[in-house]
Structure formats: structure tokens, C-alpha cells
Chain A
Amino acid sequence: MASFDPISALLGGVLIGIASVLLMALIGRIAGISGILGGVLAISPDDKAWRLAFIAGLIAAPVLMSFLGHPLPEPQMPASWIEVVAAGFLVGFGARLGGGCTSGHGVCGVARLSARSIAATAIFVASAMAVVAIMRHGLGG
């Protein structure tokens, strides 16, 4: 695991914030990834171009950065396929049911001081921490 680098973390965070502000100031949208993807999957045919373009930009970012010489570490994923599928399903289902994810609630919503988003963020961070505690340390064991 790479060591903790507070400057890159803050700088990366600021870029995420700038992208979110630009998306609102220029095209009037909240930068919530689950909402953006959810709208692509919706049955209504309109309103898909900007969503697909945002996702294309997201995927293009590491391609561009690797051309510029930034290392692209292979994401470490669990060996168990059941775990991968269950986790992906829960992330998709939960984000849609809860109205947002780490970006829509965690960044944009918290920045708007929305009580809904602050509650959602506190809940999903707590439940994720509980899962990691159980998986890695076998809580109570």
C-alpha cells in the first residue's frame, strides 16, 4: 500500500470539488456518480448525453494520466467472486435507494450542508467501518 500523502490527498480532493462546482455552474447538475449512472439506466431516452460524457471523462482520466507518466496501480480486489458480486450489487442498490453515494451525498451534499446528505454520509461510513472491523478483525472474536 502506498504511504499516506496528505498533499496529494488534499489536492485530489480540491480537484473533485472544482469538478463538482463546474458541473453545477456550467450545466446545472449535481456531481453524484450514482445519480449520473442511474439516469443512464432509466427508461426515458432524454437527458443521457451529458451523463455518458461525464462517465467517459471519468474513464479517460487514468488513460490521460498514464500518458503523462502517472503510475496506474492495478486495483486490489477480493479473490472471492461472490464477494465482488455481492458488494457491487449492494453498492448499486443502496446508492439508488439512499438517493446518493460518496460523491452526491458525501461531497456535494455535505458541501450544501444538507441534513439528508450529512445523515447518509455518517450512516454509510459507519456501516462500512463496521463491515471492515468484522472482516479484518472478527469483531467479538
Chain B
Amino acid sequence: MVALVSFGCGLIFGVGLLISGMTQPAKVLGFLDVLGQWDPTLAFVMAGAVIASSLGYALARRAKRPAFTAKLLWPTRTDIDRSLIVGSVLFGIGWGLVGLCPGPALENLATLSLPVIVFVLAMIAGMIVQDLWQSRVPSAEAVEGGALGISDG
């Protein structure tokens, strides 16, 4: 049941990305190109998503537990550390190069586009390398981070 619910959520999320145009790297790059012909689409998508989820989250917070599992796993970290800053800078560079972030990248696998498949494999490699690096060189920060609680997403 949990997997079925999760599939449904993924489906709705994917339909949202698709109809808003966010699966198209050209639309995303159009938003990021502030010096060119600026395309405000992404700002409207973000606004719709943030308004809907902040209202919904306010209601969800009142529930003691989710409908199908034991616990509401709200992220608990509050610190703005070096990992967050460096990670976000690197993520932004990659996002700006191609115009794909993880959601649209995975969703675009459905188009069977070879460059998208290569992008997703490289993205998975980047995730694995980061996780290995974090676990092999356990800086004080990383150890602390793990102990600090549930990460953001």
C-alpha cells in the first residue's frame, strides 16, 4: 500500500513537472538566463508549488502520524553549514550547464533520449562518489551532520 501511494504521488508530481514545462531544459535555462530573453515560467511553477505545499503542510502538521506509516519524518536540521553552501554552489553549476535537475532528469528517461540517460548515470555516479567520500573521510562536520537529524530531501 505504501509503495502504491508513493507511486501515485510520483505520478502527480511528474504530471505537474510536465504540464508546467519544467521537463524541458530549454524552459529552465530560459528562466536562468537573466541577461537574455527571460522566461518567468519557473518562478510561477515554484510559486504554485510553494503556496500549495505550505498550506497542505500546515494541515499535515496537525496530524499525529501519516495515514499509512508510523511517523511524519519532517527534516530536523537547521544549521547552515559549509556542506550546504558548497553542495548548493556545485549543484547550481551543473543545473545551469544543462537545465536539468534530478526530478526532470529522471522523468525524461521516459523519452529514451540518450543524452538524458547519460546525464542520469553521471548524476547517480556523483551521488555515489559523494556518499563514499563523506563516509571515508568523516570530517567532524559530516559526523555531526548525521547526528543532527533528518536531512532536507
A interface residues (Cβ-Cβ under 8 A, vs B): 1-2, 4-6, 8-38, 41-42, 49-65, 70, 72-78, 81, 83-117, 119-121, 123-133, 135-137
B interface residues (Cβ-Cβ under 8 A, vs A): 2-27, 29-30, 32-36, 39-42, 44-54, 56-57, 59-60, 63, 65-75, 77-80, 83-98, 100-111, 113, 115-116, 118-131, 134, 151-153
Does B69 lie within 8 Å of A103, measured CB to CB? no
Can you name the residue of chain B whose Cβ is closest to the Cβ of A132?
B32
Does A104 lie within 8 Å of B153, measured CB to CB? yes
Bound together, the chains give a CA A129 to CA B123 distance in angstroms of 20
Interface residue from A63, A101, A131 paired with B110 (Cβ < 8 Å): A63
Bound together, the chains give a CA A22 to CA B59 distance in angstroms of 11
Interface residue from B56, B94, B130, B153 paired with A103 (Cβ < 8 Å): B153
Does A133 lie within 8 Å of B35, measured CB to CB? yes
Q: Which of A9, A37, A84, A104 counts the most B-chain CB atoms under 10 A from its CB? A: A9
With contact pairs A13-B49, A35-B153 given, residues A26 and B24 touching in the complex (Cβ less than 8 Å): no
Bound together, the chains give a CA A87 to CA B96 distance in angstroms of 8
Bound together, the chains give a CA A109 to CA B134 distance in angstroms of 23
Q: Which of A33, A75, A105 counts the most B-chain CB atoms under 10 A from its CB? A: A75
Interface residue from A6, A65, A110, A135 paired with B96 (Cβ < 8 Å): A135
Bound together, the chains give a CA A72 to CA B104 distance in angstroms of 13
Does A28 lie within 8 Å of B65, measured CB to CB? yes
Does B17 lie within 8 Å of A91, measured CB to CB? no
Interface residue from B12, B53, B68 paired with A107 (Cβ < 8 Å): B53
Identify whether the interface residues of A are mostly helix, strand, loop, or mixed: helix
Identify whether the interface residues of B are mostly helix, strand, loop, or mixed: helix
**Contact count A vs B, C-beta below 8 Å:** 521
Q: Which residues of B contact A18 (CB under 8 A)?
A: 12, 16, 52-53, 56
Does A124 lie within 8 Å of B95, measured CB to CB? yes
Can you name the residue of chain B whose Cβ is closest to the Cβ of A102?
B101
Does A58 lie within 8 Å of B107, measured CB to CB? yes
Does B13 lie within 8 Å of A91, measured CB to CB? no
What would 15 more interface pairs be, CB under 8 Å, given A23-B6, A84-B115, A127-B93? A9-B44, A21-B59, A25-B59, A37-B127, A50-B6, A59-B106, A75-B100, A77-B98, A91-B101, A93-B94, A94-B90, A112-B57, A114-B78, A115-B78, A135-B97
With contact pairs A16-B13, A54-B7, A95-B87 given, residues A120 and B127 touching in the complex (Cβ less than 8 Å): no
